[in-house]
Amino acid sequence: MKRDYYEVLGVERGVEQTEIKRAFRRAARDCHPDVNAHDPEAEAKFKELAEAYEVLSSPESRAAYDRYGFDGVRGRPMTDFEHTSVTALFDLFFGGSGGMFGDALRQAAGGAWGAPGSAAESGEDVAVSVSISLEEAVTGTTRTVDVEAAVRCEVCGGTGAAPGTSPETCTACGGSGRVRRVASMGGFGQFIQTGPCDVCDGRGTTVADPCQECHGAGRVRGSRQIEVEIPAGIADGQRMRIGGEGGAAPPGGQPGDLYVLIGVQPDERFVRDGHDLVHRLDLTMVEATLGAHVSIPTPDGDPIELELPAGVQPGHVREFRGRGMPALRGRGRGSLKVVVNVTVPRRLDKEQREALERFAELTDQANYEEEDGFFDRVKAAFRQ
C-alpha cells in the first residue's frame, strides 16, 4: 500500500512549495541508489521519494492529490527516475544548468547525460473545449468531440512496414529500445547511463521496407470522434484528462492524452458557490410587507413552493439542503440558498404617491420594529 506523499517527504500538508523542494533535497541525499549503493532498498526508497516529489512539486497535481488522494493523480504519467535521477540530483544539489558546480560536472561527463523519460516517442496530447449548461453540470452529460491528431495508419496497421513485411528487432539494443553507456566523471569516477537507442530511436525495432502510405511512421494525420462522459458536479474551467485518446504514437510508443476543458454557461437564476447554489428572490415591497407565496426554480427543474411570512426582510435566507450541486467524485449535494431582495418602485404617479404619503401618516417606528428583537432577547438574558 502506498504511503501518503507528505509522509514520504516528511512534511506537513500545509507547507509552502519551497519546503517541498527542500525536503526532497534532504531525503534524496540519504537514499539515492547511485550514492548509497550499500543499501539494497535505496532504489525503491528513492523511486517512492521521487514520485511523491513529482506530484507535490506541481501546484496543479498537488491540489488534485489534496482533494482526491491517489485517485486524483491516478493515470498521471510519471518520470522514469530509475535510470535518470542522477541528472535530477545535479539540478537540485548543484543549481541546475546555471550552477557553476553543476556545469563543471556536466563538462567532466562530456555531455553524456541524456534526457529523462521513456525510450519510445509518445503521441501528441490534444485539447478540446466543451460548453454545457448548469443543468447538465448538475446531472452529468455526454458530448461527442472531434479529435484532429495523428491516427494509426490502416495500410500497415501502425507497424510502419510495407504490407507483407514486418519490423525487425533492433540488433543494437536487442529490442529493448534502450542502451547503457559508461560515462566518465573525471575525478568523480564512472557512472552508468541508460538512454534511448540511437539506431531504432527507442522503438526496439527497425523497418527495412517502409510503408508507402505513412513513410514508415506508422501513423497519418486524421480526425475521429470521441464520446466524452462529463461527470455531475463539474465546475466551469475544470479540465478532464482522458488517457490514451490523443494522437497515435510511432511504433512502440504510447498514445497521447485528450484534455477536455469544460465551460459551464452562466445561468441568470443561480450563482454557484462551491457546492451551493444561490438564488436571488426579488419581492416587491408590498409582497415583503404582506407576505407572499412564491415558486423557487431549481436546477433539477422541480420548483420549490415557498410561503414567505408578512414582514420578511431583505437579506433573509432560506436554505434547502441537498438541492445544490453534486460533489464531484464524491457523495451528497450542496444546498440551494434563497436570498430575499426587496425592490422599491422607481416611478410613481400622483395617485400612488398620495397613497404612500397617506400610508406613512398611518404608520410609525413601532410598525418597523421586530417583535422580541435581538436586543430584547439580550435584555431578557441579563434579567434571568
What SS3 string covers the chain? CCCCHHHHHCCCCCCCHHHHHHHHHHHHHHHCCCCCCCCCCHHHHHHHHHHHHHHHCCHHHHHHHHHHHHHHHCCCCCCCHHHHHHHHHHHHHCCHHHCHHHHHHHHHCCCCCCCCCCCCCCCCCEEEEEEECHHHHHHCEEEEEEEEEEEECCCCCCCCECCCCCCEECCCCCCCCEEEEEEECHHHCEEEEEEECCCCCCCCEECCCECCCCCCCCEEEEEEEEEEEECCCCCCCCEEEECCCCCCCCCCCCCCCEEEEEEECCCCCCEEECCEEEEEEEEEHHHHHHCEEEEECCCCCCCEEEEECCCCCCCCEEEEEEEEEECCCCCCEEEEEEEEEEECCCCCCHHHHHHHHHHHHHCCHHHCCCCCCHHHHHHHHHHC
Length of the chain as a residue count: 384
Q: Which whole-number Å values give the CA distances from 253 to 158, 288, 294, in the listed order?
A: 11, 67, 61
> What are the residues facing 260 on neighbouring strands?
128, 240
pLDDT at 148 over 70: yes
pLDDT at 106 over 60: no
Lowest mean pLDDT among 192-196, 232-236, 305-309, 350-354: 192-196
pTM comes to 0.58
Q: What pLDDT sits at residue 311?
A: 94
- CATH number attached to the domain at 271-383: 2.60.260.20
The pLDDT confidence band at residue 331, using thresholds 50, 70 and 90, is: confident
Q: What pLDDT sits at residue 143?
A: 95
For 5-43, the pLDDT digits (tens) are: 999 899 998 888 888 888 888 887 777 666 666 677 777
- Could you please state the CATH topology (level 3) that the domain comprising 118-167+207-266 is classified under: HSP40/DNAj peptide-binding domain (2.60.260)
Q: What pLDDT sits at residue 91?
A: 46
| Highest mean pLDDT: which range of 12-26, 54-68, 76-90, 219-233 | 219-233
- Average of per-residue pLDDT across 335-356: 95
* C-beta atoms surrounding 40 within 10 Å: 8
- Average of per-residue pLDDT across 168-192: 71
For 281-317, the pLDDT digits (tens) are: 999 999 999 999 999 999 988 999 999 999 999 999 9
Q: What pLDDT sits at residue 111?
A: 35
The pLDDT confidence band at residue 103, using thresholds 50, 70 and 90, is: very low
Lowest mean pLDDT among 20-29, 93-102, 247-256: 93-102
- Average of per-residue pLDDT across 32-61: 79
- Average of per-residue pLDDT across 48-60: 87
Q: What pLDDT sits at residue 41?
A: 77
Residues of the chain with CATH 2.60.260.20: 118-167+207-266, 271-383
The pLDDT confidence band at residue 226, using thresholds 50, 70 and 90, is: very high
Q: What pLDDT sits at residue 67?
A: 79
Question: Which one, of 266, 289, 340, 254, lies nearest residue 80 by Cα?
Answer: 254
| Mean residue pLDDT across the chain | 81
| Beta strands 317-326 and 271-273, pairing class | unpaired
pLDDT at 326 over 50: yes
Q: What pLDDT sits at residue 249?
A: 86
- Average of per-residue pLDDT across 364-375: 74
Q: What pLDDT sits at residue 51?
A: 87
Q: What pLDDT sits at residue 109?
A: 37
pLDDT at 204 over 90: no
pLDDT at 353 over 70: yes
Task: Please give the grid coordinates belonging to residue 341.
Answer: 431582495
The pLDDT confidence band at residue 81, using thresholds 50, 70 and 90, is: very low
